[in-house]
Structure 1
Amino acid sequence: IFSLEEVSLHQQDIEKIQHLDKWCRELKILYLQNNLISRMENLGRLKKLEYLNLALNNIEVIENLEGCESLQKLDLTVNFIGRLSSVESLRHNVHLRELFLVGNPCSDYDGYRSYVVATLVQLQCLDGNEISRSERIRACQCLEEVRRRVMEQEEQQVWRREKEKRGDTGDSPKMTSTEEQQEEQEFWNTPCSFTPESRLEAHRHLEEKRRAMEKSKEKKPKPQRTLITEDGRVLNVNEAKLEFSLTEDEDNNQLLLDLTVYRHMDTSLLDVDIQPTYTRVSVKGKVFQLVLPVEVKPDSSVAQRSQTTGHLLLTMPRRLDVDPSRRPTLDLGSIVQRREVKDGRLEASQSSAPPAACRGGLSEAFVDDPEVPPLV
């Protein structure tokens, strides 16, 4: 951007010139026509600028161009320049050859052309008409008289502009739809003076209508779909509206879910989640959820995609029930009834004496106390 020599920013609803003098020092051609610019500012550092187009804006005074040393052509067509005396600031632009002021209030002044021709001696063409040598001589001869007439008309124009500014009204209160329609018709059908304020008002009016239309077209966010109810019940959902088939493979004791996924869709856009009682597949953010008729093993399940049709096949082994015959049973006959305890003391068990092999392993100091219960 720092090396740009030509920039076109026309019809961008720009209200203020900014940053160009810092970012585009090499500019030679600058188009800023048909915007809402009210002041000529931040252009003084563009030393290489040769052509500046500010037609169809809201400029009222010619100013701040003294630093544009290379300026050769300046277009200010259809603006609101009433201070014709401000053209004297262009005397410093010694290379200025063409100037366009047609369509401005000052172009209707009596003596307008003579004043500009005599003031800017370096000018060669004004409003597309070449300046002859004889015309310049005549303009210089009557410059004082022409300047006096121009100043009088300029004061009247300034007074009218002040009156127009004081006549501006504030924002209107809120209205109903019917009142808005009536206001809309009155806004466009009521004649008004062509001023910078009227241009801004029309622009802001259109901008408000555009924003209101965009806001009305905005899609309201859809409520999030319920996949599992509050009581834990899983719902069947098919947001993607995909065809599917669920079959049972009795030979291999498994469930097969064939989901008709879009053939050319990338596999990275799929997300598969298999739970014991249901399966969930996300297809480009749209959920497909199906409740399974039997429990399956999520850890042993497999998801495969066909390279020819693009279908997604989920293979889910069924969870097998435990064989009741293999379950350990409780032998009721081996249960021994517990003896009752008398006086809080345990009765000694009348167990037989230990075998000789066991007694042989005891020390001689061992005393067999019959009141001590045997260790189990």
Structure 2
Amino acid sequence: MVKITEALVRKKSEHNECLISTLEELSLHQEDIERIEHLQNWCRDLKILLLQSNLISKIENLHKLKKLEYLNLAINNIERVENLEQLESLTKLDLTLNFIGELTSIECLKGNYNLRELILIGNPCCDYPHYRDYVTGTLPQLNSLDCEEIKMSQKLQAQKTLSSHRAVIVQKQANYFIERDEQKLRVAHKKTELEAEMAEVDDEDSRIKMFWDAKSEHCPETRTDIAKYHKLGREKRNTEQHDKKMHRTPALFAPCGRPYNLNQAKLPFHLSDEYNEYMLQLGIYKHLDTSQIKVDIEPNYVRVSVKGKLFQMSFSEEIKTTEASVQRSQITGYLVIKMPKLHVNEMIIVRSRQQGNNVNYSSTKEGKGQSDLKGTVDIKTICNNEDVDVPELID
């Protein structure tokens, strides 16, 4: 059973900055809610309340919503109209595709003087003789019934024949009540038999298939069971998708602890290996929201998560993580990560022995897996501080 919780209401009130005390419109459709509760205490300023496509069986706990103008309870399990007398501002009431057989229950709406639109399409009561004339005569304040305009002449004619039509309606709904009681017993018996057959099957998929293949009647009990099995199906799909994601999660480290190089998202990148820092340029999608990007800089590797897909690169030299910076271009969307090296002074001499001091790595075809040596390094020009002792290099 799904309940109306404060967390759910706040989630649905994002357009009002998640404030529920001043909320004027609330949509809780398709949530498998079975009971109306709390709303009249939390959201007393509501003018529009949408509760269609749920499993609500009774109209209740709404009498404090004095400002409510539009109530939508279409596609629920409601069997009678009730508890709406104190909704003074109610203008439109939608009860499409419910199970209302007690048509005389609409008489509780006589005091709702502002009510102008009533929709009962798809309810059993719509098949009763003189249905439209009875509703029109009972609720003369209506301007529209089942999305059809009610003319003044129709109202006057319905008033004249109201008593005779009501007698017919009462007899028809009494017959409906008898049929409904028989239906409840029949549906309960079939459900017991089906559950006994399903209990003999071990495979869950086969049990679910047996339910969907079984014949059923159109009634509140069946609609509730259908919602239950729809929920099971959704949970099963979510579990399977989660398992697939867990299965696809790549190994991030070798058995020895060395970080792997990964590029799940297949993003273009360029790495500059300067003498004092690494600079990584990552080709993030231009219109991707920055909230979808996560960066983790560790002493010997950097990891970037883009919409859950990982890019990871390891380094041979340690990084000074406290001074690393991450920036994103507002024009191209590219991510620029600057990572200063930890032991810069110690590496100057070692670097000077190499033929070049710039090594660039790129994901392009021309530069993939290769390095470019650019120029030579003069140790005297680098270490021009008098306090630094520069040892002689041995050829």
TM-score (norm 2): 0.59
In the alignment, which residue of structure 2 is the partner of 1:54? 73
In the alignment, which residue of structure 2 is the partner of 1:173? 199
In the alignment, which residue of structure 2 is the partner of 1:196? 220
SS in 2 for 1:269: strand
Is the 1:237–1:289 contact (alpha carbons within 8 Å) kept by the matching residues of 2?
no
CA shift, 1:259, in A, is 10
Distance 1:270 1:72 in 2: 59
The verdict on how the C-alpha distance between 1:28 and 1:315 changes in structure 2, with shifts beyond 3 A counting, is closer
In the alignment, which residue of structure 2 is the partner of 1:213? 237
Distance 1:140 1:107 in 2: 19
CA shift, 1:108, in A, is 0.4
CA shift, 1:66, in A, is 0.9
1:63 aligns with 2:87: no
CA shift, 1:205, in A, is 0.9
1:271 aligns with 2:325: no
The verdict on how the C-alpha distance between 1:287 and 1:130 changes in structure 2, with shifts beyond 3 A counting, is closer
Matched ranges for 1:193-342 at <5 A:
193-218=217-242, 219-220=245-246, 235=256, 237-240=258-261, 262-263=280-281, 269-272=296-299, 281=300, 283-284=302-303, 310=338, 313=341, 315=343
Distance 1:270 1:302 in 2: 8
The verdict on how the C-alpha distance between 1:199 and 1:261 changes in structure 2, with shifts beyond 3 A counting, is farther
Is the 2:93–2:118 contact (alpha carbons within 8 Å) kept by the matching residues of 1?
yes
Distance 2:25 2:262 in 1: 53
1:3 aligns with 2:22: yes
Distance 1:216 1:174 in 2: 25
Instruction: Name whichever of 47-56 and 26-35 sits farther off.
Output: 26-35
Matched ranges for 1:159-170 at <5 A:
159-166=178-185, 167-168=187-188, 169=191
The verdict on how the C-alpha distance between 1:88 and 1:302 changes in structure 2, with shifts beyond 3 A counting, is closer
Cα displacement string for residues 116-171 of structure 1 (whole angstroms, at most 9, x for unaligned residues): 12222322322223333443343333333322221222122222222232322255
The verdict on how the C-alpha distance between 1:118 and 1:260 changes in structure 2, with shifts beyond 3 A counting, is same
Distance 2:101 2:342 in 1: 80
SS in 1 for 2:298: strand
For this pair of structures, how many residues does the alignment match? 281
Residue 129 of structure 1 is aligned with which of 148, 165, 169?
A: 148
CA shift, 1:28, in A, is 1.9
Distance 2:59 2:47 in 1: 17
Distance 1:103 1:41 in 2: 22
Cα displacement string for residues 284-305 of structure 1 (whole angstroms, at most 9, x for unaligned residues): 4979699x9xxxxxxxx98599
CA shift, 1:105, in A, is 0.2
AA aligned to 1:239 is Y
1:155 aligns with 2:174: yes
AA aligned to 1:101 is L
The verdict on how the C-alpha distance between 1:287 and 1:135 changes in structure 2, with shifts beyond 3 A counting, is closer
In the alignment, which residue of structure 2 is the partner of 1:81? 100
CA shift, 1:180, in A, is 2.9
CA shift, 1:191, in A, is 4.0
Distance 2:66 2:294 in 1: 58
Structure 2, unaligned runs of 5 or more: 1-19, 264-274, 284-292, 305-311, 326-335, 347-395
Distance 2:314 2:95 in 1: 64
AA aligned to 1:238 is P
AA aligned to 1:34 is S
Is the 1:264–1:310 contact (alpha carbons within 8 Å) kept by the matching residues of 2?
no
AA aligned to 1:35 is N
SS in 2 for 1:7: strand
Cα displacement string for residues 236-295 of structure 1 (whole angstroms, at most 9, x for unaligned residues): 5233459xxxxxxxxxxxxxx9997844699983333xxxxxxxx3544979699x9xxx
In the alignment, which residue of structure 2 is the partner of 1:374? none
Distance 2:23 2:320 in 1: 56
SS in 1 for 2:110: helix
SS in 1 for 2:157: helix
Distance 2:239 2:319 in 1: 47
Relative to its length, the structure with more helix (as a share) is: 2
The verdict on how the C-alpha distance between 1:302 and 1:22 changes in structure 2, with shifts beyond 3 A counting, is closer
Percent identity reads: 38
Is the 2:76–2:98 contact (alpha carbons within 8 Å) kept by the matching residues of 1?
yes
CA shift, 1:72, in A, is 1.7
SS in 1 for 2:118: strand
The verdict on how the C-alpha distance between 1:122 and 1:241 changes in structure 2, with shifts beyond 3 A counting, is closer
Distance 1:214 1:224 in 2: 23
AA aligned to 2:23 is L
Residue 41 of structure 1 is aligned with which of 43, 54, 60?
A: 60
CA shift, 1:19, in A, is 2.3
SS in 1 for 2:80: coil
AA aligned to 2:235 is R
AA aligned to 1:193 is E
